[in-house]
Structure 1
Amino acid sequence: MSRADLGEVLREVVRDRPLVAYVVLAVALSWAWWVPVALAGGTASHVPGLVGPMLAALLVTAATGGRAGLRRLRGRPGAIRWWVLALTPLLLGAVAAAVVTVVGDGPSAGDFAEMPGVPAWPWPVVFLLLLVVGGLGEEVGWRGLAWTRLRRRLGLRDAALILTVPWALWHLPLFWIDSGLAGLSPVVVPGWLIGLASGAVVLGRLYERSGSLLVVALAHTAVNVVSGTRGGEGAVAAVVSVGVIAAAMAVLAADRRAAATTARHDARST
């Protein structure tokens, strides 16, 4: 088989199984950085590997939808109310930090710019880096491509549960990287998985409502800042995690009520 024939076969596979192709590419691209880092002792930064999902989504979308597909993937800017909602984790984290400061030794504002694997830059620069590399790096793929395709045939809960599986698998090498998840105790891994599934629900619904990758990337970054930095250690991260889980439960409850209302309406119409 010639190189041209092989390329055409690969393009057909991507067109026929775009979601599978995306997951394989996202894992391959991120792990291409993370696995060597983990094997070398896990001391290098994990941050470059975060762009794997975005690159994978762009490649698959270009192969299946061309320029029009890339424009659709970009989405809308999003209304101002969604931008405000996306910043809710920062507000929740700030309140939790203020309470911790009153009752004990709480974090300073500068502590929220200190994240493992990220250079010691001013807070706005760190936030912008996390937004572009972490927020968009993940959300262009997991929400922009994967979530959109799953929701064409699945309900909100099922789409979130199924998406959580490859999303969690994608993180796997980070458990052997110091700036990733190496410090996470095995005891709290189930809680981490629940948080990931809850994030899939909340971020998925936010993406559907706002239609904006930037909005959902901002929400993702806000959670990372208040749970993954030095300032978010301990109680602050716990409060934000509980908030995400509570929000997911509220979204699922609202989705069930909406489905029940639709079912009753359809029953009356027949």
Structure 2
Amino acid sequence: MAQLRLRTVLLLLFLPAVANILTSYAISAHAAVQAIAEGAPPREIALRAVRAAYTYSFYWSILQVCFGLYAAKLMGGSRWLREQYVLSDLTARPLSAAAAITWLVLLSEGLIWAEQLAMAQLYGGWEGYMAFWREVVKGVPLWSKLYFVCVAPLTAGVFEEVIWRGFGVTQLEGHTNTQRAVLLQAAAFGVWHGLSPHALVAFLIGLAYGYAYAKRRRLLALSVAHVATDVVGFYFAFTA
């Protein structure tokens, strides 16, 4: 593995966020402009903008795979990936692996639900929040819902861990200490999730996963936890 310059490392960690934010804003803005042109009321404009952003979110996986494969190549390619995703990460110390996976899933789900409860206050309470969300989901096509439940958790669970933990923590440690490396990759991971309150939640989750990686130095257990968290979250969000 070659040690990259700090600006190269930071560019690869933060560039996905720039691409995600610009793409998401373009999709939402296009839907909003169309709604405004049709004379839709403000609530309908917001609904269409949010609905469009979720409908076409499959570009997340494209970004994850592209940046993830490039990061893996810089770290040593398929050989590095085999080392990171070795089965012994789960079997060598199964109780430790199970505890790490359980802790990461419970922490992530807890933070996400706390975020939802806080966001509900902006809609006058939980009922108002859920009413708005049900209207959003009602207009999201089935193929997009299937993507969220069946595809998005896999690409995120593997390639986000490759980018921000495997590549990010390891490369940043060549320029600073482990604590700062974990903090920086968590910041990049948070911003990847957009300029919204969810970025703070993702930052905290990124910290937990970063420290877990710094201790384990393998990605398999982290990816299992990440996939499980996303499957549960997206299932309840889009199909329950």
TM-score, with structure 1 as normaliser: 0.49
Secondary structure of the residue that 1:217 maps to in structure 2? Answer: helix
Amino acid at match of 2:82: R
Is 1:68 the counterpart of 2:71 in the alignment?
no
Q: 1:141 to 1:29 in 2, by over 3 A?
A: same
- Per the TM alignment, residue 27 of structure 1 is displaced from its structure 2 partner at its CA by 5.3
Q: 1:222 to 1:154 in 2, by over 3 A?
A: farther
**Distance of 1:20 and 1:144 partners within structure 2:** 17
**Distance of 1:150 and 1:225 partners within structure 2:** 30
Instruction: Give the match for residue 93 of structure 2.
Output: none
Cα root mean square deviation, aligned: 4.6
Which residue, out of 226, 230, 235, partners 1:220?
Answer: 226
Aligned 8 A contact 1:54 1:141 in 2: no
**Distance of 1:49 and 1:35 partners within structure 2:** 12
Map 1:19-98 onto structure 2 (within 5 A). 20-21=7-8, 23-25=10-12, 35-36=22-23, 38-40=25-27, 41=30, 43-44=52-53, 45-63=56-74, 65-76=76-87, 77-78=89-90, 79-89=97-107
**Distance of 1:86 and 1:130 partners within structure 2:** 18
Aligned 8 A contact 1:90 1:223 in 2: yes
Instruction: Give the match for residue 17 of structure 1.
Output: 4
Q: 1:19 to 1:134 in 2, by over 3 A?
A: farther
Deviation readout 1:34-79 (Å, 9 max, x if unpaired): 6355324262522322453443243243245244333334355423
* Percent identity over paired residues: 18
Q: 1:120 to 1:50 in 2, by over 3 A?
A: closer
The number of residues matched between the two structures is: 189
Amino acid at match of 2:58: V
Instruction: Give the match for residue 145 of structure 2.
Output: 120
Secondary structure of the residue that 1:46 maps to in structure 2? Answer: coil
- Per the TM alignment, residue 147 of structure 1 is displaced from its structure 2 partner at its CA by 1.4
Is 1:202 the counterpart of 2:208 in the alignment?
yes
- Per the TM alignment, residue 194 of structure 1 is displaced from its structure 2 partner at its CA by 4.0
Aligned 8 A contact 1:15 1:63 in 2: yes
**Distance of 1:202 and 1:231 partners within structure 2:** 23
Q: Could you say which structure has the larger radius of gyration?
A: 1
**Distance of 1:64 and 1:140 partners within structure 2:** 10
Which residue, out of 181, 188, 207, partners 1:159?
Answer: 181
Aligned 8 A contact 1:75 1:211 in 2: no
Aligned 8 A contact 2:178 2:214 in 1: no
Aligned 8 A contact 2:169 2:178 in 1: no
TM-score, with structure 2 as normaliser: 0.54
Deviation readout 1:139-181 (Å, 9 max, x if unpaired): 111011111222455444322322234334444xx45xxxxxx
Q: 1:86 to 1:35 in 2, by over 3 A?
A: same
Aligned 8 A contact 2:149 2:235 in 1: no
Aligned 8 A contact 2:168 2:185 in 1: yes
Instruction: Give the match for residue 37 of structure 2.
Output: none
5+ unaligned residues in a row in structure 1: which ranges?
1-13, 98-103, 176-183, 233-270
Amino acid at match of 2:98: I
Map 1:174-213 onto structure 2 (within 5 A). 174=194, 184=196, 188=197, 192-213=198-219
